[in-house]
Amino acid sequence: MPVPNGRSPVMADVARLAGVSHQTVSRVLNGHPNVRTETQARVQAAIEELGYRRNSSARALVTRRTGVIGVVSFDTTHYGPAQTLAGIGRAARASGYFLSVVTLQTVTRKAVREAMDYLAQQSVEGYIVIAPKRAVVEGLADQSVDRPIVAVEGGEAPDLPMVCVDQVGGAYLATRHLLDLGHRTVHHIAGPRDWLEAEGRVEGWRQALADAGAPVPEPLCGDWKPRSGYDLGGRLARDPDVTAIFVANDQMALGTLRSLGESGVRVPEDVSVVGFDDIPEAEFFTPPLTTVSQDFSEVGQRSIRLLVELLEAADGDGSAAPAQHVIPARLVTRKSTAMYRRA
């Protein structure tokens, strides 16, 4: 500690060492134009000599800006949210913002509200909420929060700024792919009913069937976990009419592949299977899984960009209609799908 007392240096210490006023130090730090180059250099040198670092609390107190973005994520063994969070983190840092993260165990309106309250204590400037359930998104719109919120993965949320992957389009792609292979129709193992992603995938699947004039079987609902894909897959395995299955995520698809295998149903010879997410493991399933890939990193970046825009706009004029970014999904064709062959 190069400051006499032993305390860490403050602006005044730097000023004294550089032979200027503390305000000039502040000016250098904030890149104000009217500082002589030589003075700037002297201040910089003093800063380095003392190892000075500006006190963020004092700064935040007077500027009324903390530079912190609150993120509400949820505890998960799902692949997507973790990737999204990483994308958000990268983008936030690139924009000079800090990230304060709360991870929920349960995705309920109440839990989200509590998490946001908690983050408010820390004076976050805005929120990014990974909101995969309808109830949560609706709760967000209600909520009288005076700071900007961006919903991620929130499906359609008309009156909220939002970034999501085009679930409907992705599911359409997957289903269309199976129909193009000659399958008369496509069965669907869906996610839980109250999840927006699940809903979107059901819708895209249904639409593709409708557009093709194919019959629409009753979708089966799982819980995203491999086991439910296993259980429901077992049910479909017993039905000889089933030749193509679109499973709402890769983990369940894995379970489905297993139960089909155990029932002596060959994939893709007897039944074709498509998943959703393109987790890193999918390429090495037995057989390698055809699935729909989502660019989570892009989702993260867009959501930060959107929130930052809202934050800067808040200083200026009244904002326009809430922007909604929908990022396209992409079909990745592997070995779990094949032409329909009459039994």
Partner DNA sequence: GTTTCTTATGTTAGCGCTAACAATGTAGCC
Partner DNA sequence: GGCTACATTGTTAGCGCTAACATAAGAAAC
The answer to whether 70 and 126 have CB atoms below 8 angstroms apart is yes
Select from 219, 211, 263, 212 the least CA-distant residue to 237.
Answer: 263
- Binding status of residue 93 toward a copy of itself by CB under 8 A: yes
Q: Are strands 98-104 and 149-152 parallel, antiparallel or unpaired?
A: unpaired
Rounded to an integer, what distance in angstroms lies between the CA atom of residue 136 and that of residue 123? 22
The answer to whether 307 and 126 have CB atoms below 8 angstroms apart is yes
Residues between 8 and 47 that touch DNA (CB under 7 A): 10-12, 19-27, 29-30, 33-36, 38-39
SS3 label, residue 152? strand
Sign of CA dihedral 39, 44, 45, 46: positive
Q: How many chain residues are in contact with DNA, going by CB under 7 A?
A: 28
Looking from the CA of 121 toward its CB, the CA atoms found within 13 Å total 7
Measured from the CB atom, the residue of 203 and 223 that comes closer to a copy of itself is: 223
Q: How far is the CB of 98 from DNA (least distance, A)?
A: 16
Measured from the CB atom, the residue of 165 and 168 that comes closer to a copy of itself is: 165
Residues between 138 and 157 that touch a copy of itself (CB under 8 A): 146
Helix count and strand count (H, E) for the chain: 12, 12
Tokens encoding 22: 């503390």
Question: Which of 196, 254, 289, 329 is close enough to bind a copy of itself by CB under 8 A?
Answer: 254
Measured from the CB atom, the residue of 22 and 90 that comes closer to DNA is: 22
- Eight-class DSSP state of 268: T
User: Residue 108's binding partner, choosing from a copy of itself, DNA, none, with beta-carbon cut-off 5 to 8 A by kind?
Assistant: none
Residues engaged in binding DNA (CB under 7 A): 7, 10-12, 19-27, 29-30, 33-36, 38-39, 54-55, 58-59, 61-63
Residues engaged in binding a copy of itself (CB under 8 A): 8, 53-58, 60-61, 66-68, 75-77, 79, 82-83, 85-86, 89-90, 93, 98-103, 105, 118-123, 146, 225-227, 229-230, 251, 254-255, 257-258, 261, 279-281, 283-286
